[in-house]
Structure formats: structure tokens, C-alpha cells
Structure 1
Amino acid sequence: MSVVILGIESSCDDTSASVFRDEVVLSNCVANQDVHQAYGGVVPELASRAHQQNIIPVVEKAIRDAKVSKDEIDAVAFTRGPGLMGSLLVGTSFAKGFALANNLPLIEVNHLHAHVLAHFIKEDKDDNNQPKFPFLCLLVSGGNSQIVHVKSHLDMEIIGQTIDDAAGEAFDKCAKVMGLPYPGGPLIDKLAKEGNPDAFQFSKPRIADFNYSFSGLKTSFLYFLRDQLKVNANFIEENKADICASLQKTIIDILMDKLIKASKATNIKQITLAGGVSANSGLRNRVEELAKSNNWVTYVPKFSYTTDNAAMIAINGYYKYLKKEFVKQDIAPFARLEF
């Protein structure tokens, strides 16, 4: 008998709902929030207000697009954390209300686990292109840079992570220093395609084991631009593509050096990408290049499943449903939920 899961995601500034039948996605609806662009970053209070406006129409559309009725839904999965508390409260409260009104079990999902399991989303039942266990996942986003040892759908262990800033934050903060609008990561990726990645050199940290650090790179980048602007006030505008290409290459070098090291240490050749930064074309290309020289079997998610979305919440919920991992109505969200 098939299982139908409604997934709800509201960890940051995207309101999303998705419906799954077993491992196959039937719908995945996302409402974005453009209001934050004027502030150069996500404003938590504005995000939570927008979620309140979006949550009902997004869920209604997801159920309608999936061509299922509320009576067919077997459980509600929702993002418990990590994320912005106000945003999480909206999604959690709606999920609890929907589950209570329809007498459905609740399933809490860790947002980071969900990013990893995005690789198991099937768009049709004949889709069998999923990674084999165990595999390593490079999880990179605005708030996280981690290497995860994935042993099964629900058994994961972080073996390396950033000790300060994340790769996505480095992209956005450096873009802001350059005067690029928010979000800066995609713009750096676009401009980098036109530049020389070896034009400039930036600091690379020496961190033990498989851990990362990006704070030093941000400082190095800031001082570099400061010094260059003293000599030429138009330096950024005249060298924008080369700056972006060099910065992107440095960040990817840092990420890949530790991933190669982790793969050799664990002897795991199944390699996956996840998280918002996995949409970066330079990172995707580098992983494919390294796959050839390191005998990796690589899996890169579809662009629609790299950023925050409810499909990854629903697929995680499906695997938890099979193990009857339900939670009670007194469940509360946690902004800093541990992996």
C-alpha cells in the first residue's frame, strides 16, 4: 500500500509545500520572498510575516497539483530546525494544526538531513539514479559547510565542518563588499564564467582533519580590495569578472581539498553534493572533473532541489514514516537544532 506524505518547509525565507507518494514527488511548490533584497539579507521579522501570508495558498496549491485529497494524506512532515525561529514557528504551527484537524501523525525533520536526502527524490517510479550507501555528502549552504558520512537514510555522521563561517556566507559577504546585490552567490557564479580564475590569489586556511574555515578568506578578500582601491578607485568595476572567478576558485579549492582527503581516508568513492551552494556551476564542474581522476561516482542534485524546498522534507518524512518515527503535538522548533 502506498504512503502519501505532505511536506512543509519554512526554515528561512522560502515557504514550500510538497506531496509525495512513496519516494515519488507529486508536487513541490515554493513561494519566494523578494522583500529582503532591499536590505542586503534576510530580515527575520519580515520573513515570518511573509510565511504567514504564503503558507495556506502554498499548501493548497501543492495538494491540488498533486491531484490528491486531504483524506489520502497519511502524515505531515515539517522542518523543525535549524533555521530562523519566527519562520520555523509558522511552518511548525501550521503542520500541527493540519495534522490535528485531519487526525494525522506528525514527523519532524532536520533541515540539514533533508538536504542530504534530496538525492533520493524520484520524479517517476522508474528513476533509479540514487547514491549507494555508504556515501560522502558535501553539504554547502549559506549557513553550513559539512562533509557528511551517510550510512543509511536515517544514519548520518558529520566528519568535517566549518569552525567559523560557511562557504555560502563567504560568497554573499564578499559579494556585498564588492557592491553586488543580495543574494551575491549566484551573481559571483555568473560573473566568474567571464573571468580568469588565476588572476588573483587569496588566503587559504590550514585547518586540521576535514574541517573548514572561511573567516580568514573573507578578511584576506576585504584587505585585498581595500589596498587595490587605494591605488585605483575603479579597480572593482574594471576587474569584476576576474575578482569573482579568483574568489570562486579559492572557495572551491578549499572545499575540494578536504573532500578529497575525506574520500581517501574513508575509502568511499560515492560522492554527492547538497545545499544551496551546490547550484554553483564552478563547484559542479570541479566535482565532475575530480570524479575522473579519483574514480568517484558522483551525484549532483537538480537545481530545484538545491535550495530550500519541501520535497526534501517530504522524502525524509517518508523514510521516518516507514519506521513510525512520529512526534507529539507538544513538539517545538529549534533554531539551532543539532545535526
Structure 2
Amino acid sequence: MTGPRHAGPTPSLGPGAVVLGIESSCDETGAGLVRITDGAPELLGHALASSSDQHARFGGVVPEIASRAHLESMTGIVRGAFDAAGLRHADVDAVAVTAGPGLAGALLVGVAAAKAYGAAWRVPVFGVNHLAGHVAADTLEHGELPTPSLALLVSGGHTQLLRIDDLGGRGPAPITEIGTTLDDAAGEAYDKVARLLGLGYPGGPVIDRMAADGDPAAIPFPRGLTGPRDLRDSPYDFSFSGLKTAVARHVEGLLAAGRPVPVADVCASFQEAVVDVLTGKTVRAATDLGIGTVVVAGGVAANGRLRALAAQRCAAAGLSLRVPRPGLCTDNGAMIAAVGAHVARAGGAPSGPYLGGDPALPVSTVLVA
């Protein structure tokens, strides 16, 4: 990667600087442009392409198909972001890119594109954490995040409770994992239950729609890790594997007895079990840790029932709740530009020429060297 336009060490980027963000960790190719301000980054424009339709017949993401789709979409999506923002490449002062976690091949497509743009435009490149990006997306809508804050990050591959101290990556522990799933992520459980019910892929949106016509109390599905011993030993951890199995056994029992499967009731009862645990543990963690602001982020944060129950329970507990609009919850380039803006403004060092993709990048690493 060639050096930045200016000579000498890269200084922190101040208000007015523009950051291009590139996202390619899974099946969405995203590019977004934000402007650094004295407060939260300002969203200027973004564009997104999804290859989810290509994966639907397989019931999940196929890494090779996703990587090829990123290759085919990348330049057009970057152009689309510039068009949406009304900017040219000469206006860009830095490039941020998802360096992990994610699918290895998919990450490499985005990293290679970012390094190429950085070299061509002679601007610094920042490899940043995809998970931090989901949290940073909220700042594009609701302003600077109070610190500390507690983030519930829920997506197809991740279900975590995170203490957020600095989205710019400064300090020994800018982001700390408080709790995580011990097996399936919430979004993964949605996909598996949808496949079991023959509802297609991805499972989250269709189950949310079907649940609106069902009874959430119709079937008493289990709530994982909520027993007295669980709450003592793993108070902030999650488990959805047992719930997924319970749904399968319930459906199998109905079919074996020759009875119809009440799909809407199954969806509603399953969804209620998921969001009950997610919101309950989040409020418990925030209360125990004395944190007054909760952020719900990630693809599953677009779920209507999760948003409603989180609002109800946070209000009852006296907690401030922030949830990005649905379009900023799913993977996108704007969120990567946002965390890149935080890092750049904080004076983070640009990533080196050997930047690659790390599928297992820990959430505690906001900026990759």
C-alpha cells in the first residue's frame, strides 16, 4: 500500500474528513461514506448488494458463492455509494474495511479492494472489526454513544453482550465481551427453525412475519440458561441449541400423530422464547453493571418483536435504549465507515501493507495493525 497524500506520520483525521467503508464479511457487499465531525460521524450515502438469493436453495451461505458475488459487485457498489453521497474519489481521506470476523474468502475480497483504493488514492487504510461496526452504526442515527454502554449484538453468526468503552479502539479494553452464546447464535437458530418449517432462507424476516399471526404463548418452548444455577454460573451467556431441538421435537410429534403443524403459533412461540431470553439477560447485565444505556445491534435487531420487548423492558428498568433503523442493522458499508471514522479521529495507526482477513478476529480488537 502506498503512503497517504501527506508526508510523515499519519495524524488523526479531524472534522470534515471523509471515510469510505467497505463490508464483505458474509453475503452482503456494502460501501458507505461518512464525514468525521466533532461528534458522531455523519452518514453521506451508502449502497448495498446481497447474494442471499443465490444461497437460498442451499439453506445457508455458501462461502465460495459469497466470495464470487463480492468480486462481481464490489466496484459497482462503491460507485453507487459515491453517487448516493454526491462525492468523488478525490473527496476521500481514508478507507476502512472489515478485516474480520467473517468468511475467509469474502473478507479477502473486501480487504484487497480497500488496499487497491488506498494505493490508488494515496490515503490510509484501516482494517476494522465487523462487530464494532454494528455498534458504531447506531451513532449514525442517534449520535455519540455514552460510555460505557452495553450492546446486545445479535446476528446470524453472533450473539454477544458487549461493554463498549471506546469505539475508537483506545485503551486496554475498548470493547469487552460480557456474555456470549455457548452454541447457536440467535440468527442461526432462526434460519434452522425456518428450514425445519419449510419457510426458506433467510429465516429471520419470514419467522417475524409469520409470528404476527400466531400466539406467542401457544407452546411453552424452553428458555435456555435461565435456571437458578445457570443464572449463577452463566448469568449473561446464551444457548439456543436446546430451543431449536425443542421446536424440532414438537413438530415431529405433531406430524407423527397426523396433526397439522400450526406454523404461525410455532413461529410466534419460538420467537418469544428467543427475545425473552435476549432482552431479559440484557437488562439484567445492564442493571448489575450499573450501565444506563443499551444498544441493540446486528441483523436480528431488525426483528420487530425484539425491538418492542427491548423497549418495554428497558423502560421498566429505567434504561435508555438505542436501536438503529432496520436498514442499518444488517451488514452494510456505512457501519464500517462509522467505526473507521471513530478510529481515524482517535489517531489510530493505519493498517500495514500485509493487512489480511481474520475470520476469528476477537471483538476486543477494534483496529487491526
**1:284 — aligned with what?**
307
Q: List per-residue Cα deviations over 1:291-326 (Å, max 9, x = no partner).
A: 221111111111111000010000100111121331
Q: CA deviation at 1:95?
A: 0.6
Inter-CA distance 324–150: structure 2 relative to 1 (3 Å threshold): closer
**1:144 — aligned with what?**
158
**1:194 — aligned with what?**
213
- The residue type paired with residue 60 of structure 1 is R
Cα distance in 2, alignment partners of residues 292 and 73 from structure 1: 41
Cα distance in 2, alignment partners of residues 104 and 131 from structure 1: 27
Inter-CA distance 164–188: structure 2 relative to 1 (3 Å threshold): same
8 Å Cα contact 1:81-1:109 kept in structure 2: yes
Q: CA deviation at 1:53?
A: 0.6
Cα distance in 2, alignment partners of residues 280 and 32 from structure 1: 19
Which 10-residue stretch deviates more, 75-84 or 207-216? 207-216
Which 10-residue stretch deviates more, 7-16 or 264-273? 264-273
Return 5+ residue gaps in structure 1 as ranges.
123-127
Q: Does 1:240 align with 2:290?
A: no
- The residue type paired with residue 223 of structure 1 is R
Q: Does 1:311 align with 2:334?
A: yes
**1:132 — aligned with what?**
146
- The residue type paired with residue 358 of structure 2 is F
8 Å Cα contact 1:195-1:245 kept in structure 2: yes
TM-score, with normalisation over the residues of structure 1? 0.95
Cα distance in 2, alignment partners of residues 47 and 63 from structure 1: 23
**What is the aligned counterpart of 2:350 among 319, 326, 333?**
326
**What is the aligned counterpart of 1:204 among 196, 217, 223?**
223
Return 5+ residue gaps in structure 2 as ranges.
1-14, 364-369
Cα distance in 2, alignment partners of residues 266 and 300 from structure 1: 20
Q: CA deviation at 1:103?
A: 1.1
Q: List per-residue Cα deviations over 1:8-50 (Å, max 9, x = no partner).
A: 0000111111111111111110011121112211111111111
**2:6 — aligned with what?**
none
**What is the aligned counterpart of 2:198 among 169, 175, 179?**
179
**What is the aligned counterpart of 1:229 among 233, 255, 258?**
255
**1:337 — aligned with what?**
361
Q: CA deviation at 1:209?
A: 2.2
TM-score, with normalisation over the residues of structure 2? 0.87
Inter-CA distance 129–338: structure 2 relative to 1 (3 Å threshold): closer
Q: Does 1:120 align with 2:134?
A: no
Q: List per-residue Cα deviations over 1:145-180 (Å, max 9, x = no partner).
A: 111111222311110111111111111101111111
**What is the aligned counterpart of 1:2 among 4, 11, 16?**
16
Aligned residues: 331
**1:70 — aligned with what?**
89
**2:56 — aligned with what?**
37
Cα distance in 1, alignment partners of residues 166 and 358 from structure 2: 24
- 3-state SS in 1 of match to 2:340: helix
**1:47 — aligned with what?**
66
Q: CA deviation at 1:130?
A: 4.4
**1:125 — aligned with what?**
none
Cα distance in 1, alignment partners of residues 184 and 134 from structure 2: 19
**1:96 — aligned with what?**
115
- The residue type paired with residue 360 of structure 2 is R
Q: List per-residue Cα deviations over 1:104-141 (Å, max 9, x = no partner).
A: 1110110001111111115xxxxx64442211111000
Question: Percent identical across equivalent pairs?
Answer: 39
Cα distance in 2, alignment partners of residues 187 and 61 from structure 1: 28
Q: List per-residue Cα deviations over 1:222-268 (Å, max 9, x = no partner).
A: 111111111125x22xx111111100000111112211220221121
Cα distance in 1, alignment partners of residues 286 and 95 from structure 2: 36
Q: List per-residue Cα deviations over 1:159-204 (Å, max 9, x = no partner).
A: 0111111111111101111111101111110011111100001122
8 Å Cα contact 1:20-1:27 kept in structure 2: yes
Cα distance in 2, alignment partners of residues 133 and 315 from structure 1: 17
Q: CA deviation at 1:336?
A: 1.3
Which 10-residue stretch deviates more, 156-165 or 62-71? 62-71
8 Å Cα contact 1:131-1:299 kept in structure 2: no
- The residue type paired with residue 147 of structure 2 is F
8 Å Cα contact 2:283-2:314 kept in structure 1: no
Tell me how large the CA RMSD over aligned residues is.
1.3
